[in-house]
Amino acid sequence: MNENIQTLKKWIDESDNVVFFGGAGVSTESGIPDFRSVDGLYNQKWKYPPETILSHSFFERNPEEYYRFHREKLVIDGVQPNRAHKRLAELEQEGKLRAVITQNIDGLHQAAGSKKVLELHGSILRAYCSRCRRPFPAEKMNHGTGLPRCRCGGIIRPDIVLYEEPLDQDIMSEAVHYIRSAEVLIIGGTSLNVYPAAGLINYYRGNKLALVNLSQTPYDSYADLVIHEKIGEVFSQI
């Protein structure tokens, strides 16, 4: 175990107030591509840029094309939590970790057993009618063909935050609360490029901020500890 991982382990061992804030890089070791790495979703060829497809106005204008992308790229069958998800769930059970705050929409933290998960960008495991708001089975939305419709005639949409849409303010406030009061904050698997989520880092007041990310982020110089390694490998050692 290298020195940085040892330090992170020590911080966690000595604390009962650890908070984790993560993104797509947490799930790459489960086989879900992230967005901005070379093999990420935003570097794959598609008729429209993915940031455009994942926007509110595009969904309204062209829901059929949205669903082609959604079913082909966002829904990945058979994925399982990896060592990072599992270790985070254990740390919560051990009374050390207070919350997981995630930008991911894949539900893998809950699948690993984490209870307190704040999903800033929603989940593709939930769906509802864009007209009457009635819940709809996500399985049918994710795996069906054609445009999923509610019995009221409205188009079904995933319960995710599309570009141009605001984040849920209650979830944001709770995330701010956990980060503001955290003793150890671990941020992992996120490029910290997308706001307002990335701005959450500014609420941390402590002196044990660890960044675990394969590539550099704009906040590396802000952190007390930076580990540029695979998060699953790091978490399997702590």
Query: Could you list the active site residues?
Result: 121
| Residue 79 in contact with ligand OAD, rule: CB under 6 A | no
| ∠ CA 18-213-158, rounded to 5° | 80
Q: Which stretch binds ligand OAD (CB under 6 A): 10-18, 57-65, 146-154, 209-217?
A: 209-217
| Residue 230 in contact with ligand OAD, rule: CB under 6 A | yes
Minimal distance in Å, beta carbon 63 to ligand OAD? 16
Break the chain down into helix, strand, coil percent, rounded to 5: 40, 20, 40
Find the binder of ligand OAD among 12, 21, 23, 99 (CB under 6 A): 23
Task: Give the binding-site size for ligand OAD (rule: CB under 6 A).
Answer: 26
Beta strands 209-212 and 184-188: pairing type? parallel
Alpha helices in 145-203 (DSSP H): 169-181
Distance (Å, whole) CA 125 – CA 203 = 29
Contacts of 87 (CB under 8 A, 6+ apart): 235, 236, 238
Q: Which stretch binds ligand OAD (CB under 6 A): 109-117, 131-139, 179-187, 208-216?
A: 208-216
Q: Which residues in 53-72 contact ligand OAD (CB under 6 A)?
A: 54
Q: Which stretch binds ligand OAD (CB under 6 A): 90-98, 129-137, 175-183, 185-193?
A: 185-193
Q: Which stretch binds ligand OAD (CB under 6 A): 7-15, 150-158, 203-211, 213-221?
A: 213-221
Nearest Cα to Cα of residue 17 among 208, 157, 190: 208
Minimal distance in Å, beta carbon 227 to ligand OAD? 9
What sign does the dihedral 103-107-108-114 (CA atoms) show? positive
Find the binder of ligand OAD among 30, 110, 142, 213 (CB under 6 A): 213
Distance (Å, whole) CA 113 – CA 169 = 25
| Residue 83 in contact with ligand OAD, rule: CB under 6 A | no
Q: Cβ(163)–Cβ(55) under 8 Å?
A: yes
Nearer to ligand OAD, 41 or 150 (CB): 41
What is residue 191's three-state secondary structure? coil
Distance (Å, whole) CA 116 – CA 56 = 28
Distance (Å, whole) CA 238 – CA 230 = 13
Minimal distance in Å, beta carbon 140 to ligand OAD? 22
Instruction: Tell me the β-bridge partners of 149.
Output: 155
Minimal distance in Å, beta carbon 111 to ligand OAD? 17
Find the binder of ligand OAD among 186, 194, 201, 238 (CB under 6 A): 194
Binding site for ligand OAD (CB under 6 A): 23-25, 28-29, 34-37, 40, 54, 103, 121, 161, 163, 189-191, 193-194, 213-215, 230-232
